[in-house]
């Protein structure tokens, strides 16, 4: 006669679940903190401008707030953010707007021309790889909108679409 051997697995102890959750939480917080540190003060950057030259931090006027927008012209959330900016472009008169895209300039130029942003005073446009933006600002999520004050310290950061109220709030925070 065969003997039957049944093994019952014990569920994880409650304390082990808590430990796992704590480790995951700390890991997530550390990643967020590292990402925040990377962009807390406007980092030096070098991206390609639309003429094939270099767009860098030193091109920004000192003593004036700056907004960095990382976008893709094919991204629906990016288009929402661009529309919000276009609706309030007059509010950017005292703020430099830097639009950066991982897309090829042959896709960026027609889109920004259509929206009236290309050639607009105070708007600088560049392209870079997603890796360049990640290395500089700690994210590749499109859209990402970063509002820096005149001291180039980060005042507001948005990942994902920004509505008109968010644009106004970001600009107001950058002015304080």
pLDDT in tens, 17-27: 454 444 444 44
Q: List pLDDT tens digits, range 48-83.
A: 999 999 999 999 999 999 999 999 999 999 999 999
Q: List pLDDT tens digits, range 109-155.
A: 999 999 999 989 999 999 999 999 999 999 999 999 999 999 999 99
pLDDT of 85 reads 97
In whole angstroms, what is the distance from residue 31 CA to residue 84 CA?
A: 30
**Token output for 119:** 């050639």
pLDDT of 4 reads 54
Q: E-strand spans in the chain?
A: 46-49, 54-56, 66-70, 96-101, 123-127, 144-148, 154-159
Mean model confidence pLDDT for the chain: 86
Q: List pLDDT tens digits, range 7-45.
A: 555 555 555 445 444 444 444 443 445 565 656 899 999
Beta strands 154-159 and 144-148 are: antiparallel
Q: What is the side-by-side strand order in the sheet with 96-101?
A: 54-56, 46-49, 123-127, 96-101, 66-70, 144-148, 154-159
pLDDT of 7 reads 52
- How many other β-carbons are positioned within 10 Å of the β-carbon of residue 130? 15
Helix, strand, coil % (nearest 5) of the chain?
45, 20, 35
């Amino acid at each position: 006669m065969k003997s039957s051997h049944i093994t019952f697995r014990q569920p994880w102890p409650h304390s082990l679940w808590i430990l796992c959750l704590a480790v995951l939480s700390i890991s997530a917080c550390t990643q967020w903190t590292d990402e925040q540190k990377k962009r807390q003060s406007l980092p030096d950057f070098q991206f390609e401008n639309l003429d094939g030259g270099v767009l860098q931090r030193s091109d920004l006027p000192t003593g004036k707030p700056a907004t960095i927008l990382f976008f893709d012209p094919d991204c629906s959330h990016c288009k929402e953010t661009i529309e919000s900016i276009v609706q309030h472009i007059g509010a950017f008169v005292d703020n430099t707007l830097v639009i950066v895209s991982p897309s090829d300039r042959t896709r960026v130029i027609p889109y920004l021309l259509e929206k009236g942003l290309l050639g607009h005073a105070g708007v600088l446009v560049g392209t870079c790889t997603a890796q360049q933006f990640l290395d500089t600002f700690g994210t590749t999520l499109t859209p990402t909108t970063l509002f820096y004050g005149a001291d180039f310290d980060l005042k507001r950061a948005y990942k994902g679409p920004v509505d008109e109220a968010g644009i106004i709030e970001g600009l107001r925070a950058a002015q304080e």
